[in-house]
Amino acid sequence: MNKRKLMRFACVSIISLAVIIRSMLLLSCLMIGVPFHAKIPGTSIIKDVESVTSSEFVDKYFGGGMGYTDWDTYDPPVAGSVINVTCSVNSLPGSDPHVMSLYIFKAGMESYSTPVAVLQSHSSCSGYYEFTGQFPEIMNTGLYTFVIVNELCVVDTVFTYPICSLASESKVVHSEMVSAKPVIYMYPEEDTEAFVSLDYNGELTCTYPSYNDDYGWHVMAHPGGVITDLEGGRDYDYLYWEGLTTEIFDFDQAVCVRGCDTASFLEEYLEASGLTYSEIDDFITYWLPKMECNEYNLISFPVSEYEEIAELNVEPDPDTVIRVYMVFTPLDEEVYIPEEQQLQMPTPVERTGFTVVEWGGSEV
């Protein structure tokens, strides 16, 4: 379990302890007959329920003994895991942050049954409340009623949502993964007017220069590598984009590298991939701060999968295209990788004619 996961686990534990103490007080009121008070129209703090999920640590395996521990997130939530309910919040005039309580009942029994869980809001940053806590190990699969109340037990929001007894009855949902800093270099033999576009299975979240949804980038590429944006008139060293995708990359071919050895490994691999020293410097100075502090990094370069997720279109067609895409996950200890699954050095690429180079990556 790496430091990031330990911090998340510690935060959940601290939050859960606070939840238990406050929940005991609220639950005691409920059990001696203190009722919820009717909702007052026009005073709702909760705007919308954004998500209802649960998470638990599971062992991830890539085959052949390769594996690590990470969180799986379930929707619908599952008994015995950490429940998380995220709600957007209305902006009420003169209102201060509230401590909200979430009671969960088996549907149809909310009027006379003890709740199966009581959660407290622990975050209201950027207009959201989150309710987090531990589900009981045993819960029947079915619909449950969620009742959110304020400090005075005035009902704010009521909704129903299914909860599963077993993980096999639910579905693992994947968080959106960032395609981080893919950059595109262009090296024509002469000044070349070109259109560059992406067919990306996801959402482009940032581009520089600005990307036109109809045709992408309209540029003039120069032999020295300078790219002129014909829409804005400015010169750039490369075209930059970033995006979010729910696609999952495999670690079918991977290598486990010590954090302190990451720079030397990347230098060797990227040079074999056909990148120049300048391009390698750009890659390493971006990714090394995210990698060298880890005990180990599990690294893969799933270029063929990446090309299916993010198809790069350049008109006129370049003579040479080099695309390098890295995915990695930090590890606390070294993992064994069978010989047939070990990452191999790429076949050297000869750069001839109009050459386009792209590199990028994701942490998973």
% of the chain beyond a pLDDT of 70: 79
Give residue 67's pLDDT. 56
What is the pLDDT at residue 70? 60
As for how many domains the chain has, the answer is: 2
Of the candidates 173, 196, 230, which is a domain's last residue?
173
Whether the per-residue pLDDT at 94 is higher than 70: the answer is: no
Does 210 share its domain with 343? Answer: yes
Mean pLDDT, residues 152-177 taken together: 85
Distance CA 108, CA 113 (A): 9
Could you say which DSSP state residue 261 is in?
G
> Rounded to the nearest 5 degrees, what angle is found at the Cα of 203, between the Cα atoms of 199 and 207?
80
pLDDT at 274 over 50: yes
Neighbours of 75 (CB within 10 A): 16
pLDDT bucket at 15, cuts 50 / 70 / 90: very low
The residue with greater pLDDT, 225 or 329, is 225
Shared-domain flag, residues 96 and 39: yes
- pLDDT, greater one: 25 or 140: 140
68: pLDDT confidence band, cut at 50, 70 and 90?
low
Residue 310 pLDDT exceeds 90: yes
Percent of the chain residues past pLDDT 90, beyond the cut: 52
User: Given pLDDT bands bounded at 50, 70 and 90, which one contains residue 172?
Assistant: confident
Q: Are residues 143 and 192 in the same domain?
A: no
Give the per-residue pLDDT at 118. 86
Q: How far apart are CA 319 and CA 187, in angstroms?
A: 10
Residues 189, 305, single domain; the answer is yes
Domain end, chosen from 117, 149, 173, is at 173
Q: Among 75-89, 164-178, 303-317, name the one with the lowest average pLDDT.
A: 164-178
Are residue 166 and residue 196 in the same domain, yes or no?
no
What's the whole-number mean pLDDT along residues 189-213?
Answer: 95
Helix (H) or strand (E) holding 117, with range, is strand 117-123
What is the CATH classification number for the domain harbouring 131?
2.60.40.1930
Q: Are residues 348 and 218 in the same domain?
A: yes
Amino acid 260: pLDDT: 96
Model confidence band, residue 31 (pLDDT cutoffs 50, 70, 90)? very low
- pLDDT > 50? residue 211: yes
Preceding amide of 316 cis, omega within 30 = yes
Residues 112 and 196 in one domain: no
Same domain membership, residue 151 and residue 199:
no
- Interatomic CA distance for residues 227 and 315, integer angstroms: 14
**What is the residue-averaged pLDDT of the chain?**
83
* Domain residue limits at 196: 177-363
**Dihedrals phi, psi of 291, to nearest 5 degrees:** -120, -40
Same domain, 58 and 196: no
pLDDT category, 25, cuts 50, 70, 90?
very low
Q: For the chain, what percentages of helix, strand and coil (3-state, to nearest 5) are there?
A: 20, 45, 35
Which two three-digit tokens encode residue 43? 């005073």
Distance CA 275, CA 347 (A): 12
Same-domain check for residues 135 and 220: no
Q: Which two tokens stand for residue 230?
A: 């014909």
User: Is-contact 221 191, C-beta < 8 A?
Assistant: yes
Question: Above 60 in pLDDT, residue 145?
Answer: yes
Same-domain status, 139 and 212: no
| Predicted local confidence at residue 179, as pLDDT | 65
Q: Which residue has the higher pLDDT, 172 or 360?
A: 360
pLDDT attached to residue 92: 53
- Same domain? For 165 and 262 the reply is no
Q: What 3-state class would DSSP assign to 105? A: strand
For tokens 């020295």, what's the residue?
224
Flag whether pLDDT at 26 surpasses 50: no
* Least confident among 78-87, 118-127, 245-254, 343-352: 118-127
Give the residue with greater pLDDT, 348 vs 289.
289
- Of 122, 139, 173, the residue at which a domain comes to its end is 173
Lowest mean pLDDT among 17-26, 77-86, 96-105, 152-161: 17-26
